[in-house]
Amino acid sequence: MSAVPNTPRRANAQESFTPAATPQTSRVASSHIVQSSPHYQTTRRHSLYGTEDRIILDPGSCIWKVGFSGEGKPRDVFYAGGDSGESLWTLNRASKPAEREEEDRILEAKLQACLRSVFHNSLLTDPKSRKVILVEHPLLPLHIKEIMARILFNNLQVPSISFASSHLLALLAAGRVTGLVLDCGHLESTVLPIFSFRPLYPHLRTTPLAGARLSNHIKALLLMFGTYIPPATSLSATMNIPAASRSIRVPQDVLTEKVIDEIKTRICFVGDPIDTDGSGAAQHAMSPGPSEADLPPSDPALSESEFSRVSADVSIDSSNFAPSSGYSVVSHSQLPGMDHAPGESRVQALATMYGRHSTATDIHLRVDPPPAQQTGTGRGTLIVPGWIRERAAEVLFEGGDVDESSVAEVILDTLLKVPVDLRKTLASTILVVGGTPMLPGFIPRLQAELTRAVSRTSNSSSSSAAPSRAGRPRPRPAAYDKYAALRPLLPYFAILNNPAPPPPGNATAAANAGKAPAFTPSMMAWVGGSLAGALKTGGVEVQREKWDEAEAQPDSDDDVPMAHDSSPARSARSSPAKSILPDWTRTPLPTGAPPAPRPPAAAAYIPSAQEQMVMG
């Protein structure tokens, strides 16, 4: 067993490229280092890449994008959780300290593998001479940020890390400095208003309706409505058994993450809302009573969504249709192990309805048979009904739940929160980024949903009148017109990167809708990061010296007990993050709680960051 030096990192820091930066250097000194950086640029490996290019890391929970600043596209994109496509972290964390610690250890090991591979395999560059811009999602948990910083500084020894808000960077890539940015990623959809470069964090709104939820939903739908044809049982059998007679329900094992991902990214799209005004009116005329009566009673926000229409269709088909609507059915079907018995007729009805409205073709997909049934005779066939391809994404547009607003509602909720004088500007500069909006048709559909959500209560009088007509025992309370305040904004709604903008409502919308450059939604944040790097700006920069310095300090000033770490070594290592890493959630605190020397430091700190941007 080796006698490892007690503070190996300290030694490393001295030996690396900035000999001036001893751990004893004060903050002022470290800002001098920034000024002296041209010096080391000329001395250190000048030929290789030109060291002023920074590395832009956009680490998602699922997919990472990495590359160099100043380039229009990333060098590499990969699944961080391995080829199986599972995400590195989820929205949940273990509650028990021991489990949580274990979870963190696994996460750290995986992140370390990813980060090392980024430098050594994707970018083929020396991390010690590369500044890093970390594209940071505003809701990225602090402990994950901390782990990443620790790996980058200690294991890879990068000279500095800048943290930049992903939403702001995405907006930059659209050429704007003001806008309402919806990031619809894997775990969450998050809306952040930005005014004149300033993210208005207190108005941030989020919903778990995002890529992961869509995957679950596709899986649930396929388990119920998909068809699976297993491969032939043996090669020699002269079978010619018609496929129809061999087809069975989809075994759960067939629907691996990979298969679901392939379905989601290759063959799914988002159809138009089913009830356009004209046809909706026609259906109203056909079945006025039940269509209104089947509205879920407790969800005023749901009101006119297509599920009333769903229910209308359904109640024609099957008279014993329970009144609690397709909405809840679809929600239930999100659970993979759902019970088929009670909800089946309703879901079936929903499927019938979607199927009738969908002209999308069924797709035959070749899939690996479940491991238990490997016969060595090739792959099975999974038949994905066309309506699932078209309607799976409905789950993202179903609102009404207080905790899980639809992606349209989450935008409107944010608009309700922002100062009144900003609403008009923000409503006309909506930007949609993230991986999920890569679904063809997503953005136009979102636009339609926004319009509908705002204008839907226009006929709320009739819908609130309906229950009494239908003689429901429980009268519905008068619908709360949540978005009434936004209705005047209706002509202003414009999505910057809408590929097929509707006829604009007015000049403002016309000047904005579809005017963003044609970068893909998923890549906007990365491109913005590259842009920020090329412009020599890019957010709070944390130097390694400062990190080392903070790490060397005893954790006496660590008066905020975070996740309790058991080993003293670990808690000592996690302490610098609290004082050094930027964290917007702590900024608004008036007395600058955690690190004691905050107020004097803050004054010196911000300008030094600005200066870094100038100096690069």
Partner 1 sequence: MAPKIEYYCPCLAESPYPPPPHLASSSYSFHALHNLFFCEECDAVRCNRCVLVEVSGYYCPNCLFEVPSASVRAEKNRCARNCFLCPNCRNTLTVVPSDPPEDVDSRMSPIVSTTLGEPPFFLYCNHCRWDSAEVDITFEKPTGLAAQLQKFEDSAPESLEFERLKEHFEPFLRASSSSTALPSASSHHVHTNPITAAASSALARDIPGVGKYNPLSRSRIGRDKAAHRQEYPDYKSRVEVGHAAALSGEVDVELLRHLETVGEVASLEQRWSNSWVTPLRASDLKPLRIPLQSKKSKRCPSCRHILIKPEQKAQSTRFKIKLVAANYLPAIAVTLPHAQAALEMMKRSSAKSVSAAAAAEEQQTAGALIAGHSYSFHLAFTNPLYDPIQIRLAKAVVPAHMTEDAEAAERARRSTFQIQLPSAAFPVGAFAEAWEYDDEDEDMFLDEDGVELLDARGKKGKDGRGKSRSVGIVDKRANVTIVSGEVLIPKEARGDVKFNMLVSYTYRSDDPEPSEEVEVGTPSRSHGTNKAPEMKNFSFYTVVDLGSIMYREEPKLTADL
Partner 2 sequence: MPPIRDKFTIHSKAVVCQDVELKGDITIGAGKPPMPLPSGPIVIGSGCIIEEGAIIVNRRKEVMRIGDDNLFEIGCRVESPTVGNCNTVCTRARVHHTLRMSSYCVIGAGVLVVPTEDEMLDDYTTIYGPSAERRIWSGRGKVQEMDLRRKHAEYLREMLPKFNRLRRGDGT
Binding-site ranges for partner 2 (CB under 8 A): 229, 231-232, 235, 238-243, 246, 366, 377-379
CB of 198 or CB of 366, closer to partner 2:
366
Q: Does 97 bind partner 1 (CB under 8 A)?
A: yes
Cβ at position 373, least distance to partner 1 in Å:
10
- Positions 404 through 423 that interact with partner 1 (CB under 8 A): 419
Per-residue b/e over 539-558, b at no fewer than 16 CB within 10 Å? bbbbbbbbbbbbbeeebeeb
The single residue listed with the structure tokens 């999308």 is 360
Nearer to partner 1, 231 or 300 (CB): 231
For Cα atoms 397, 400, 401, give the angle at the middle one, nearest 5 degrees.
105
Burial (CB count <10 Å: 0-12, 13-18, 19+), residue 302: buried
**Exactly one of 84, 234, 276, 566 binds partner 1 (CB under 8 A); which one?**
566
Give 161 or 229: the residue with its C-beta nearer to partner 2.
229
Give the three-state DSSP class for 304. coil
> 381 vs 251, 258, 352, 362, CA distance in Å?
12, 15, 23, 12
Strand 63-68 and strand 363-367: the pairing is unpaired
- Asked if 300 is part of the footprint of partner 1 (rule: CB under 8 A), the reply reads no
Distance of CA 36 to the CA centre of its chain: 39
Query: CB of 544 within 8 A of CB of 159?
Result: yes
Using an 8 Å Cβ cutoff, are 146 and 581 in contact? yes
Strand 430-433 to 227-229 pairing: unpaired
Q: Residues 211, 230, 343, 501: which binds partner 1 (CB under 8 A)?
A: 501
In this structure, what are the phi and psi dihedrals at residue 438, rounded to the nearest 5 degrees?
-70, -15
Residue in 36, 84, 102, 477 binding partner 1, rule: CB under 8 A: 102
Site for partner 1 contains 500 (CB under 8 A): yes
Region binding partner 1 by CB under 8 A among candidate stretches 310-318, 399-407, 455-463, 604-612: 604-612
215: contact with partner 1 by CB under 8 A: no
- Residue 17 partner contact from partner 1, partner 2, none using kind-dependent CB cut-offs of 5 to 8 Å: none
Contact partner at residue 506 from partner 2, partner 1, none, CB < 5 to 8 Å by partner kind: none
* One-letter amino acid of 301: A
Q: Please check whether residue 568 is in contact with residue 584, taking contact to mean a CB–CB distance below 8 angstroms.
A: no
As measured in angstroms, the least distance from the Cβ of 366 to partner 2 is 5
Q: How far is the CB of 599 from partner 1 (least distance, A)?
A: 10
**Burial degree of 417 (CB within 10 A; 0-12, 13-18, 19+):** middle
Residue 529 makes contact with partner 1 by CB under 8 A: no
State in angstroms the smallest separation of the CB of 300 from partner 1.
30
Q: Of the two residues 101 and 262, which places its CB atom closer to partner 2 in the complex? A: 262
Binding of partner 1 by 507 (CB under 8 A): no
- 154 and 9 Cβ atoms separated by less than 8 Å: yes
Tell me the residue type at 596: A
Site for partner 1 in 269-288 (CB under 8 A): 269-271
Give the amino acid at 431.
L
Closest CB 145 distance from partner 1, rounded Å: 14
Distance CA 306, CA 326 (A): 9
Q: What gap in Å lies between CA 404 and CA 452, rounded to an integer?
A: 18
> Alpha-carbon distance 268 to 347, whole Å?
20
Compute the least distance from the CB of residue 250 to partner 2, in Å: 17
Residues 133-192 touching partner 1, rule: CB under 8 A, are: 155, 157, 164-165, 168, 172-178
Residues linked to residue 229 through DSSP beta bridges, in sequence order: 381
Q: Which stretch binds partner 1 (CB under 8 A): 453-461, 480-488, 543-551, 606-614?
A: 606-614
Residue 472 binds which entry of partner 2, partner 1, none, CB below 5-8 Å type-dependent:
none
**Residue 199 or 280 having the CB closest to partner 1:** 199
Measured distance CA(243)–CA(412) in Å, rounded:
48
36's tokens: 């002296």
Amino acid, res. 359: T
> To the nearest whole angstrom, how small is the minimum distance from the Cβ of residue 299 to partner 1?
29
> Out of 124, 237, 335, 478, which residue is the one contacting partner 1 (CB under 8 A)?
124
Considering CB distances under 5 to 8 angstroms, the limit depending on partner class, which of partner 2, partner 1, none binds residue 564?
none
Name the residue nearer to partner 1 (CB basis): 471 or 588.
588
> How far apart are alpha carbons 84 and 65 in whole angstroms?
17
Binds 235, which of partner 1, partner 2, none (CB < 5 to 8 A, cut-off by type)? partner 2
Angle at alpha carbon of residue 321, lines to 320 and 325, rounded to 5°: 165
Least separation in angstroms between residue 394's CB and partner 1 is: 15
Residue 96 sits in the site that holds partner 1 (CB under 8 A): yes
Smallest gap, in angstroms, from Cβ of residue 336 to partner 2? Answer: 24
Q: Which does 64 bind (CB under 5 to 8 A by kind): partner 2, partner 1, none?
A: none
Tell the burial category of 196 from Cβ atoms under 10 Å away from its Cβ (0-12, 13-18, 19+): exposed
| Choice between 141 and 378, CB closer to partner 2 | 378
Of 63, 347, 408, 433, the one binding partner 1 (CB under 8 A) is 63
Report the nearest approach of partner 1 to the CB of residue 277 (Å). 20
